[in-house]
Amino acid sequence: MRLVLFLLILLSSSFAAKKVDTLSFWAMDNGPGSAAVLQEMLTRFEVETSIPVVFKELKWESAFDEIQKAFSEGTAPDVLQVGSSWISIFAGKGYLDGMQSFLNEIDSSRFFDEMSKFSSIEGDSNYYAVPWFLDVRAFFGNKAVLDSLGIRDAHMKSFTRARGVMKAIAQNGLKNAEGKEIVPFGLPGKDDWTAPQVMAPWIWSYGGDFLVKQDSLWKSALLDSNTLNGLFHYLTLLKDTTCVPNALFENSVENATRFTNSEQAFLMGTSEIIRKMDVSVEEGGLKEKSISQDGLVLIPMPFGPKGQFTFVGGSHLAISKNAKKDTKKLLQFLVRVDHIDTYTRRIGFLPSDKSVISVWAQDPRYNALIEDLSHGRSFPNLSQWGEIETILINMSNDIGSIYRTAIENEDRTAEVASIIVRADEKIQNLLSTDSLDSLSSIDSTNSSIRNTDSLLTWVMKILSQKEKEEDFLTVKWFPKGFIIPLPGESWTFRFAIIIGIGVICLFIFFVESKYHLIRRKKKK
CB 81, CB 26: distance < 8 Å: yes
Residues 210 and 273 reside in one and the same domain: yes
Question: What's residue 437's pLDDT?
Answer: 44
Q: How many domains does the chain have?
A: 2
Residue 430 identity: L
| pLDDT > 70: percent of the chain | 83
Banded pLDDT at 469 (limits 50, 70, 90) = low
Residues 283 and 321 reside in one and the same domain: no
* Tens-place pLDDT, residues 163-177: 989 998 898 888 888
CA 461/CA 465 separation, integer angstroms: 7
Residues 208 and 349 reside in one and the same domain: no
User: Judging by DSSP bridges, how do beta strands 23-28 and 79-83 pair with one another?
Assistant: parallel
Residues 170 and 229 reside in one and the same domain: yes
pLDDT at 500 over 80: no
Domain end call among 377, 411, 430: 377
CA 461/CA 229 separation, integer angstroms: 10
- Residue 506 belongs to some domain of the structure: no
Domain end call among 471, 487, 502: 471
CB 316, CB 132: distance < 8 Å: yes
Residues 38 and 145 reside in one and the same domain: no
Banded pLDDT at 517 (limits 50, 70, 90) = low
| Residue that wins the pLDDT comparison between 285 and 434 | 285
| Residue that wins the pLDDT comparison between 195 and 523 | 195
Residues 301 and 208 reside in one and the same domain: yes
- DSSP per residue over 355-381, as a string? HHHHHHTTSTTTHHHHHHGGGEE----
Domain end call among 427, 455, 471: 471
CA 201/CA 217 separation, integer angstroms: 24
Q: Out of 18-22, 41-45, 75-79, 127-131, pick the least confident.
A: 18-22
pLDDT at 223 over 90: yes
Residues 219 and 73 reside in one and the same domain: no
Banded pLDDT at 351 (limits 50, 70, 90) = very high
pLDDT at 70 over 80: yes
DSSP 84: G
pLDDT at 7 over 70: no
Q: What is the pTM of this model?
A: 0.83
- Residue 495 belongs to some domain of the structure: no
- Residue 519 belongs to some domain of the structure: no
- Residue 488 belongs to some domain of the structure: no
Residues 239 and 324 reside in one and the same domain: no
* Tens-place pLDDT, residues 251-283: 999 999 999 999 999 999 998 899 999 899 988
- Residue 501 belongs to some domain of the structure: no
What's the mean per-residue pLDDT of the chain?
A: 86
Q: Out of 202-211, 416-425, 451-460, pick the least confident.
A: 451-460
295: left (phi over 0), alpha (psi -120 to 50) or beta: left
Percent helix, strand, coil in the chain, to 5, is 55, 15, 35
Residues 188 and 76 reside in one and the same domain: no
- Residue 504 belongs to some domain of the structure: no
φ, ψ (nearest 5 deg) of residue 233: -70, -35
- Residue 485 belongs to some domain of the structure: no
Where residue 403 sits, what CATH number does that domain have? 3.40.190.10
Q: Which of 441, 33, 406, 468 is nearest to 221 (CA)?
A: 441
* Tens-place pLDDT, residues 289-342: 999 999 999 999 999 999 999 999 999 999 999 999 899 999 999 999 999 999
Residues 270 and 331 reside in one and the same domain: no
Reported as type and span, the H/E element at residue 196 is helix 195-205
Q: How far is CA 424 from the centre of its chain?
A: 24
- Residue 216 belongs to some domain of the structure: yes
Question: What's residue 524's pLDDT?
Answer: 55
Residues 34 and 45 reside in one and the same domain: yes
Question: What's residue 153's pLDDT?
Answer: 87
Residues 84 and 214 reside in one and the same domain: no
pLDDT at 138 over 80: yes
The domain in which residue 124 lies consists of 21-136+313-377
CB 67, CB 82: distance < 8 Å: yes
